Amino acid sequence: MGQISHPARWLTGLTLLLVAGTLVAAGLQDVRADRTGAPVFSFLFWNLFLAWIPYVLALAMTGLDRVRAPGWVLAPVGVAWLLFLPNAPYILTDFIHVGSIPGAPQWFDVLLIGAFAATGLLLGLASLLLVHHVVAARIGQTAGWVVAIGSLALSSIGIYLGRFPRFNSWDVLTNPSGLVEVIAYRLADPFGNPFLLQFASLMTAGLVLSYLVTWSVGQALAGGRRGGVAQYGG
């Protein structure tokens, strides 16, 4: 992956962009709640808060990498990041609520949920871009892509577990037996749930495509920075 000059400035700009998306989404929810007198979509705030966790953890990994922290320090942060990563694109599934809660035009609810979903997705993709860079720098490009694609595939399954069996990231600690039971049951008959296979395949494909676009934009920014340095450097 290309190196971007002034990474602190780049990360600050990225974070401000994500904060702006969060504020826009929150503003739309406040408008709906004010007009209808009921904050029926307030659960989106919690979902977006959870979407911020993998991004914050990715920033922590980036900071630890820059100070040359050993791998055994980075590893638990990386595991926590992977556990919370599905919460970011999970908000895409909240579109199922469009049209189910009266009080506002349907187009407004699409815009409202879309603002939350887009911000959540960007938080997840941005966090993956940071982790991809750390892994590629430490272990190699191939490992970086394996982690990136593998994380998105696992996130798709995590989204399914969150939307349908209604598990949460922290169930790994609070309800491990229930989680293991569901996973073991499905592994015993991997083709017994066609919907799960279709959902995971389509979600993985969509997330991978979205990440490739994000990665390409990151590469373009890195190339632009290098070009600028070459053009204007002494």
Contact 89, 178 (CB under 8 A): no
What pTM does this model have?
0.89
For the segment 170-182, the average pLDDT, to the nearest whole number, is 86
Residue 222 has pLDDT above 80, yes or no: no
Contact 99, 109 (CB under 8 A): yes
Give pLDDT, residue 1.
Answer: 53
Mind listing the pLDDT tens digit for each residue in 79-134? 999 999 999 999 999 999 998 888 889 999 999 999 999 999 999 999 999 999 99
- Comparing CA positions, the residue from 45, 25, 28 lying closest to residue 36 is 28
Mind listing the pLDDT tens digit for each residue in 24-75? 999 999 999 998 888 888 999 999 999 999 999 999 999 999 999 999 999 9
Contact 228, 4 (CB under 8 A): no
Give pLDDT, residue 218.
Answer: 79
